[in-house]
Structure 1
């Protein structure tokens, strides 16, 4: 906001107050105090704000909990395998998660991992449910679930992919990039998720570059370069 806009808004506010007093047929007593309060506010803005600074747009971050149905579908598509027969825990939890009932899904999945601590799909579904319940933020419990899923299935692309997505949502862009870059390097050339992962990594690189540019930081050697776009 520039000084011109600040002064115009102050004048408009004062005019509205005086018009309201006139409409109610009340004497405009104390308008000097109102004007003084507005000027005091402008002075405070001048001392603490930056009226001449160009606003830096905040980089959008893809929310992992934005589409519950897509979240479940994405987890299944990364593996390409159906849920193990008899694993009704994950089936029920997926049905709950599709309707955004993340807390209930997490409760069901805790029973699944208690029954079988090596169930990677249950751990991954639990981690996603916890992130969804926290509105996209990565909690210590979700981080533990992602790591447990990676331990149970070291070659599964789901844990690093979704952990990177959750880290990006939580503002941990450099860590997210490291996970995705490593996953991309290990992915087979014909992996069905490779193109989507590459696209996400490119967009994340552009986001990091814009953030560094807005902060006046030089590009990290070997990292994303400013001007890189999706």
Structure 2
């Protein structure tokens, strides 16, 4: 019944506003009231006034499940030691609890102290993607590109930005980042083998896409 109360309340408010603010003439007041009643009739026909509203998802549980394997790989490639490590550990702890917004905010706090830390920018990009359920938001895009600018030769920004791009379906962009990284990775390393396998899958998918008739 809550839907009905809201609908009638809004209709009544609209009519009063038209009388007091719109100063509609007496001759059209009945027509205006009829129009509002028709709107209520349409709501009763098309809508679901008696249906309970869907509960909103809590903001602090938004985002994908925390990826322990990805976090361990990031620590191996980037910030296991150094000034960013403590901020990243705190952010990871919040992300494990599903508090993805807070996890990103922690990294923003770290960047206020050390704005030129590539690892923190990279972590912020990952945290924002996680908070947005895998979507690369403009903020995440900026964070990744900032990490690349600060550490253009480092493996971590290229690896994780490429991973986010690949998961978002931007396959060619991911390949462009990964190909030079795979070529420069140590022979027989796990990262090199993984990147080569990922690039092979991307090439197959891109070839398949171009072969499909338009």
* TM over 0.5, shorter chain: yes
Distance 2:65 2:196 in 1: 21
Q: Equivalent residue for 1:152?
A: 150
The answer to whether the Cα contact below 8 Å between 1:65 and 1:71 also exists between their aligned partners in 2 is no
Q: How has the CA–CA distance of structure 1 residues 85 and 181 changed in structure 2, closer, same or farther, with 3 Å as cutoff? A: closer
Distance 2:205 2:65 in 1: 19
Gapped regions of structure 2 (runs ≥ 5): 1-62
Q: How has the CA–CA distance of structure 1 residues 66 and 183 changed in structure 2, closer, same or farther, with 3 Å as cutoff? A: farther
Q: How has the CA–CA distance of structure 1 residues 85 and 179 changed in structure 2, closer, same or farther, with 3 Å as cutoff? A: closer
Distance 1:129 1:86 in 2: 14
* Alignment map for 1:58-77 (pairs within 5 Å): 65=64, 67-77=66-76
TM-score (structure 2 length as normaliser): 0.63
Distance 2:84 2:120 in 1: 13
The answer to whether the Cα contact below 8 Å between 2:65 and 2:96 also exists between their aligned partners in 1 is no
The answer to whether the Cα contact below 8 Å between 2:110 and 2:120 also exists between their aligned partners in 1 is yes
RMSD across aligned positions (CA): 2.3
Distance 2:98 2:199 in 1: 27
Report the number of matched residues: 152
Task: Tell me whether 1:184 sits opposite 2:192 in the alignment.
Answer: no
SS, match of residue 136 in structure 2: coil
Q: Offset at 1:192? A: 4.2
Q: Offset at 1:65? A: 4.5
Between Structure 1 and Structure 2, which shows a larger proportion of helix residues?
Answer: 2
Name segments (4+ residues, structure 1) moved above 3 Å.
64-67
TM-score (structure 1 length as normaliser): 0.59
Q: Offset at 1:190? A: 5.1
Q: Equivalent residue for 1:170?
A: 168
SS, match of residue 162 in structure 2: helix
